[in-house]
Amino acid sequence: MSDKNPTRILSAIAHRPPHSAAGDQAFCNSDPTARALEMTYAGALSFLRRPYSRDLTKAKAVVCGVPYDGATSNRPGARLGPRAIRAASVELGSCDSFPYGGNPFEALPTIDWGDVYIEPQLPHRVAADIEAGAREIIAGGAKLLALGGDHFISLPLLTAHARQHGPLALIQFDAHSDTWPDDGARNDHGTMFLRAAKTGVIDPSRSIQVGIRSHNPERHGIEVMTAPAVHRSGIDATISAIRDRVGDAKAYLTFDIDVLDPAFAPGTGTPVAGGLASWQALEILRGLSGLDIVGADVVEVSPPYDHAEITALAAATVAHDILCLWAQDERAA
């Protein structure tokens, strides 16, 4: 196998498991802190090759798929997002984490819980089913990183976290505000954060939206940093704005992949020109270490609209970096 990282491959060979246990670490590895050599182009898929498990007793972080796109208003396909993000994560799971270095799972034992089971033909149950799955994971003491799915899934995920922690600061990376009004009963990926604010799930005074580039005259008390503002003010100013807004509050981070310009994320349901570059978003994320981020999601990856897995790779890298932030905080604790 060709590999441009000889240190990685030599280290992995030195710790190679018995031949009968080599490969397919999603099923053969029962240790959520360990990594082993895999063929990046083969094997059972899990996020970053984490062991598939529903045993929460050894995990400090849990990755969970939420394959639902019944709330989308434009192009469908985000129900296929969790599978695509897992597939795109294989190379990230085989190397020391950049730019952090080392194996984050030594500090942050992590499992892939699989997907929340959702019956799309029973839309009145979708939110409750997602919230129930999230509450089960949170009750086990682990941090939850969800892979969507359209952005509506953030509402039941937020609700589950707020039941545990109280009203949350929202750190939202997005092209759209998702605070349009509705009747309080719709499964709509453009309205759920207004509902979260009205029901006390989020605290607008501690919340911030980054990368917005669709006009909404109402901000509902949430600070908005548009994509042009990010481009003009730069990475450090954006990080400072987020940190100042959130402060010491418990926060939930939601990353809609359409915050990226369609050049970097074509595979999404509602693309908008003029967005962040992937390098900008990653640098901003990497500046959030130390904030009390209790949960997170990465949403709106629609693989049918991306022939080259560009979008899924961006999403996998974002999710990887969120786990690395949590690992940094574990080491610092």
Check residue 305 and give its pLDDT: 96
Picking from 291, 295, 323, the residue whose alpha carbon sits closest to that of residue 135 is 295
> So what's the pLDDT on residue 93?
85
pLDDT in tens, 202-258: 999 999 999 999 988 888 999 999 999 999 999 999 999 999 999 999 999 999 999
**Both structure tokens of 200:** 């006390």
Per-residue pLDDT reduced to its tens digit, 161-175: 999 999 999 999 999
In a domain, 168, yes or no: yes
Pairing assessment for the beta strands 223-226 and 250-256 based on DSSP bridges: unpaired
The pLDDT assigned to 11 comes to: 47
Residue 1 lies in a domain: no
Give the neighbor-by-neighbor strand order of the sheet with 110-115.
110-115, 61-66, 143-148, 292-299, 250-256, 169-173, 208-212, 223-226
pLDDT at residue 182 above 90? no
Q: 147 pairs with which residues across the strands?
A: 65, 298
User: Is residue 279 assigned to a domain?
Assistant: yes
**Residues 6 or more apart from 213 whose CB is under 8 A from it?**
175, 226, 227, 228, 272, 273, 274, 275
> For residue 290, is the peptide bond before it cis, meaning its omega torsion is within 30 degrees of 0?
no
pLDDT digits (tens, 9 = 90+) for 293-309: 999 999 999 999 999 99
How confident is the model over 1-24, as a mean pLDDT? Answer: 51
Sign of the CA dihedral running 182, 185, 186, 189:
positive
Q: Is 297 inside any structural domain?
A: yes
pLDDT of residue 7 exceeding 60, the answer is no
Mean pLDDT of the region 18-42: 79
* Within a domain: 143: yes
* Helices (runs of H) and strands (runs of E) counted in the chain: 10, 8
Residue 311 has pLDDT above 90, yes or no: yes
Question: Residue 220, by phi and psi: left (phi above 0), alpha (psi -120 to 50) or beta?
Answer: left
Mean of the per-residue pLDDT values of the chain: 91
In total, the chain counts a number of residues equal to 333
For residue 107, which of 61, 139, 141 has the smallest C-alpha distance? 61
124: CATH:
3.40.800.10
CA distance 154 to 24: 31
- State the total domains in the chain: 1
**With b meaning 16 or more CB within 10 Å and e meaning fewer, what string describes 99-128?**
ebeebbbebbbbbbbbbbebeeeeeeebbe
Work out the number of other CB atoms within 10 angstroms of the CB of residue 316.
Answer: 26
User: 17-27: per-residue pLDDT in tens?
Assistant: 555 556 888 88
Q: Are 320 and 286 in contact (CB under 8 A)?
A: no
Residue 46 has pLDDT above 90, yes or no: yes
Residue 10 has a pLDDT of: 41
Q: What are the structure tokens assigned to 107, written together?
A: 């500090």
Predicted structure pTM score: 0.91
Identify the CA nearest to 89 among candidates 323, 307, 254: 323
SS3 state of residue 62: strand
The CA distance from 87 to 85, in Å, is 5
What would the pLDDT profile of 248-277 be if each residue is shown by its tens digit?
999 999 999 999 999 999 999 999 999 999
* Residue 223 maps to a domain: yes
Q: Is 70 exceeded by the pLDDT of residue 136?
A: yes
Give me the domain span that covers residue 222.
Answer: 6-332
At residue 141, does pLDDT exceed 80?
yes
Is residue 96 a contact partner of residue 105, using CB atoms and an 8 Å limit? no
In this predicted structure, what is the pLDDT of residue 67? 97
- The yes-or-no verdict on residue 12 having pLDDT over 70 is no
